[in-house]
A and B are shown apart, each in its own frame.
Chain A
Amino acid sequence: DADVTQTPRNRITKTGKRIMLECSQTKGHDRMYWYRQDPGLGLRLIYYSFDVKDINKGEISDGYSVSRQAQAKFSLSLESAIPNQTALYFCATSVSGNTEAFFGQGTRLTVV
């Protein structure tokens, strides 16, 4: 079955370290997203990309950067991790003209 795969699934890192979260998809979707989930705050958009050459900031992009290496790959980087970036991170995909988004299984990141 086509999939949205996030790696790693869990990660503990130290304050100040650079970390990359990766997302790959086999759905052939053109649009990809990174969301952050914190208890009681829902899903907040970090960055999104509607094709390989398109990168857009979301609601909470400060402290994060992204790279769309190919249509199927969208990576999220924390250049210098801080404890309040501890959260559950989700990658999602969709296809233009369709409203449904498909989510990966999430990456639980802990910054100590």
Chain B
Amino acid sequence: GQSLEQPSEVTAVEGAIVQINCTYQTSGFYGLSWYQQHDGGAPTFLSYNALDGLEETGRFSSFLSRSDSYGYLLLQELQMKDSASYFCAVRSSGNTPLVFGKGTRLSVIA
């Protein structure tokens, strides 16, 4: 089976940097993804890491260490609109569905 662990809540100040960690256990590994969900909305794709290292997309970056079964999402220059839930997700192979963590609720405060 697969399991993912991420913090349930994080609070950060507008303009700051925040890191949301995710550790996973899976029988196989086909990459770690991150999704964002605003209250009342649908999850939307943010990033995907299949190989070790950092992937950067604007203010958001995602990191993966396969040897540690660990990844994180880094949000820089936080804005109020970044307040949302963030989910990490894994697939064990190309022919298996995404399995999601329980999500981290990020609150950005002034």
Chain A residues within CB distance 8 Å of chain B: 31, 33, 35, 40-45, 48, 50, 56, 58-59, 90, 92, 96-97, 99-106
Could you jot down 20 A-B contacts, CB within 8 Å? A35-B100, A40-B8, A41-B102, A42-B103, A43-B87, A43-B103, A45-B97, A45-B98, A48-B97, A90-B42, A92-B43, A99-B31, A99-B33, A99-B48, A99-B50, A100-B33, A101-B98, A103-B44, A105-B41, A105-B42
Query: When the two chains form their complex, are residues A97 and B43 in contact, meaning their CB atoms are under 8 A apart?
Result: no
Binding site for A on B (CB under 8 A): 8, 30-31, 33, 35, 41-45, 48, 50, 87, 91, 94-95, 97-103
Task: Report how far A102 CA is from B42 CA in the complex, Å.
Answer: 9
Docked CA distance A44–B98 (Å):
10
- State whether B100 touches A42 (Cβ < 8 A): yes
Do B42 and A97 touch across chains, with their CB atoms under 8 A apart? no
From residue A54, how far is it (CB to closest CB) to chain B in Å? 10
Report the nearest B residue to A102, measured CB to CB. Answer: B45
Cα A96 to Cα B93 in complex, Å, equals 11
